[in-house]
Amino acid sequence: RGRAARQGDPGSSRFYLSLEDDLMVRFGGQQMESMLSRLRVDDALPIENNLVSRIVESSQTRVEGANFDVRKHLLEYDDVLNTQRGKIYGQRDRIFIKDDLNDDVTEMLKTEVLQRVPEALADEGGPWKLLAWLEQIQPSLPLHNSIFPSYSIRLIAEQMMGRKSANLTRQQAQAALLKISAEAIKAEEEHTLASVNHLLDQSLTRMEEQLEERLDTLDAFIEGIEDGDESDTRSPQQLAEELVQVVRLPIRLNNAQIRELRDDPRAAAETVRDQIEKVMTGLTIARLVGAVQRLIREEIGLAGISLNDADWDDLSDQVIEAVENTFANRLERFIGDAETPGQIASDLEKGLDRLDKETLDTSDLYRLLLTIPQGRRADFDRKTHRRIWVRTTRITFIYAAAKLLENRETEEITQEVLTHLQGAQAAIRQVWGESEINRLGAVRPADLDATARAGLRKALGESAFAEIRSQSFNTLPEVQQNQIEAELGRQAITQIYRQLLLRVISELWVEYLTQMEALRVSIGLEAYAQRDPLVQYKNKAFEMFQGLLRDMRMSLVTRMFTYRPRDLSSVQSNINEVEDAPALVAEAATEAPPSEDTTAKKKRGRRRR
């Protein structure tokens, strides 16, 4: 059967199969061999029998069927990934050819916001995590002549202005900014104290668990010393070193205590137990202090207290007191009072002088609010041994803005966040449109590339585009300039979304293929649990693919407001100065056909090669 049966001449070729062949060994060859042994048949004698031929044929059929089933089973695994690959590459093709991606990206943004905002608002810690996420994905965006604020800054500004569009005087703005800055410091203090108390509870629970584990280890170690016989020749110094390794703590014993480990282990155990408790308390509180310092972005001192000798409750109280003192110092240093204004008050005075306005609008408040959080402080460079200035974050408005979201309906906040982010989309699109029309001020619409011209035709209409195609952009009426600006902004932002979508899909798809390969290698273990590996592979592949789509959407939303292309020409409209050149050449060819002399010269100039 197979290729072997197609060799030679039909009807005259003969094939010989050894009894030691894998086919005969697996499918009845042993019985045939034992029968030939009993009959004492010569090994070199060929046997030709219909029964043997049928056995060989049926064996080959079963082997072919088994191999086919194996290949079919592997193809079923491949079909799962091929289906997913088809969907991903179908989306990639759609991204390449679709003219406008704004609706698709907006729909992904809407889906992410509708899913994330309610989950974040249901968190026990409050809405500050939602505001932190919004601040990360959409920080305040500096535009050409204004600022599009982040959601937190917008909440603060509306709180200052009473959700009205009325302008504030210089004195009102300064007083309102100082007040909201003080409230931001107090709100951060309240949040930090709650976090520190939570850290204290967690640290105490973890310390008690580790302390109990080490004390149990110490008891087992002491019992081993007591139960030792004359064969235990370890010296007291060796016992002390082994004790340090067992409890995994830097236990320090004097010579008398080390000798006591051998002479009276129970008495030495009490001394070691006290040291373990003190060292564990000291290590835990030291880690806690480090975590608190990272949380408040400043160092807190525990002056005059030895961590190894202090009680846990006393140390906890001092940590809380140190945090409170830190924020009190911040309030005094940044805000100050009427007699001694703080850093923020001085910076606000300078900022108001630079604005040189008696009344401030919303855009001016945004600018001033963005200057408040950032400051600088003097520091010492250990390498150069010089005084340097380091930029620091003085305050954050996230916790103060989170208080403004309390007692509000989830649906209302969700819709407000979505509207705000869509406004940020429109602002970015407008900025790109303004940049494009300023760049192309002296260019005619007819000089643009085919894609840009097609977009302008669709936006303006065929008749309007035909009227302005030979005019430069800076000579057009304001109404048409605004329409062209919106269309060029749409085209630029579509190119940005195209680049970002392709980058996100490429990065996550490569990682996903690696995960799928690992799943395919390990899925065979499901058979030990009496489960079909193929069914489990399909289920887990479906879950992973849904997770991939979620990750793509989340990655896009996270980067869509801050992504900037490296090559600006890749998103800008190209200038095609020779748009009508092919038509001119065709007309010239029609009006002036080649003469006979020219044709003859060309024919005479040809050479055979």
Q: Which domains does the chain have, with CATH numbers?
A: 4-95 (3.40.50.300), 190-337 (no CATH)
Most confident segment among 209-223, 298-312, 496-510: 496-510
* Nearest alpha carbon to residue 312 among 292, 284, 271: 284
User: What integer pLDDT is reported at residue 391 of this predicted model?
Assistant: 80
Which tokens in the block code for residue 103? Answer: 């609706």
User: What integer pLDDT is reported at residue 187 of this predicted model?
Assistant: 92
Query: In 10 A of CB 542, how many CB atoms?
Result: 12
Question: At 309, is the pLDDT very low, low, confident or very high (cuts 50, 70, 90)?
Answer: low
* Nearest alpha carbon to residue 400 among 182, 576, 135, 143: 182
CA of residue 378 relative to chain centroid, distance = 34
Residue scoring higher pLDDT (551 or 77)? 551
Q: Residue 518 pLDDT more than 80?
A: yes
Most confident segment among 254-258, 477-481, 580-584: 477-481
Residue given tokens 């011209």 in the structure block: 453
Specify the length of the chain in residues.
Answer: 609
User: What integer pLDDT is reported at residue 284 of this predicted model?
Assistant: 84
Q: Residue 589 pLDDT more than 60?
A: no
User: What integer pLDDT is reported at residue 600 of this predicted model?
Assistant: 44
For 39-59, b where at least 16 C-beta lie within 10 A, e where not — what string? eeeeeeeeeeeeeeeebbeeb
Looking at residue 607, its amino acid is: R
575's enclosing H/E stretch is none
Residue scoring higher pLDDT (539 or 64)? 539
User: What integer pLDDT is reported at residue 569 of this predicted model?
Assistant: 75
Residue scoring higher pLDDT (374 or 17)? 374
CA gap 301, 310 in Å, rounded: 15
Q: Find the mean pLDDT for residues 378-384.
A: 76
- 556-566 per-position pLDDT tens digit: 999 999 998 88
Q: Residue 586 pLDDT more than 70?
A: no
CA gap 127, 118 in Å, rounded: 10
Residue given tokens 């600018």 in the structure block: 367
- 143-194 per-position pLDDT tens digit: 877 899 999 999 999 888 875 556 888 888 888 899 999 999 999 999 999 9
Cβ neighbours for 34, distance < 8 A, ≥ 6 positions apart = none
387 strand-pairing partners: 380
Strands 374-381, 386-393: pairing is antiparallel
CA atoms within 13 A on the CB side of 85: 9
The DSSP output letter for 333 is I
Which tokens in the block code for residue 572? Answer: 């800008």
Residue scoring higher pLDDT (383 or 308)? 383
CA gap 4, 527 in Å, rounded: 37
CA gap 427, 433 in Å, rounded: 10
Q: Residue 18 pLDDT more than 80?
A: no
Q: Which long-range contacts (CB under 8 A, 24 or more apart) does 120-125 make?
A: 121/405, 121/410, 121/413, 122/410
CA gap 411, 118 in Å, rounded: 8
Q: Residue 426 pLDDT more than 90?
A: yes
CA gap 542, 92 in Å, rounded: 20
The answer to whether the beta carbons of residues 563 and 541 sit under 8 Å apart is: no
Query: In 10 A of CB 273, how many CB atoms?
Result: 16
Range name among 85-99, 187-201, 533-547, 570-584 with the lowest pLDDT average: 570-584
The answer to whether the beta carbons of residues 332 and 322 sit under 8 Å apart is: no
CA dihedral (338, 339, 344, 348) in degrees, to 10, reads 70
User: What integer pLDDT is reported at residue 359 of this predicted model?
Assistant: 86
376 strand-pairing partners: 391
- 171-184 per-position pLDDT tens digit: 888 888 999 999 99
Going 198 to 200 to 206 to 212, the CA torsion angle's sign is: negative
12's enclosing H/E stretch is none
Question: CA end-to-end span of the chain, whole Å?
Answer: 55
* Nearest alpha carbon to residue 141 among 429, 551, 399, 339: 429
User: What integer pLDDT is reported at residue 310 of this predicted model?
Assistant: 57
The DSSP output letter for 144 is S
The answer to whether the beta carbons of residues 351 and 177 sit under 8 Å apart is: no
H helical segments located in 41-121 = 50-97, 102-121
- 332-353 per-position pLDDT tens digit: 888 888 778 888 888 888 888 8
Q: Residue 427 pLDDT more than 90?
A: yes
Q: For the chain, what is the mean pLDDT? A: 82
User: What integer pLDDT is reported at residue 153 of this predicted model?
Assistant: 93
Range name among 97-101, 351-355, 401-405 with the lowest pLDDT average: 351-355
Q: Find the mean pLDDT for residues 75-91.
A: 90
Cβ neighbours for 15, distance < 8 A, ≥ 6 positions apart = 4, 5
* Nearest alpha carbon to residue 127 among 155, 85, 89, 90: 155
Q: Find the mean pLDDT for residues 322-341.
A: 86
CA gap 471, 485 in Å, rounded: 15
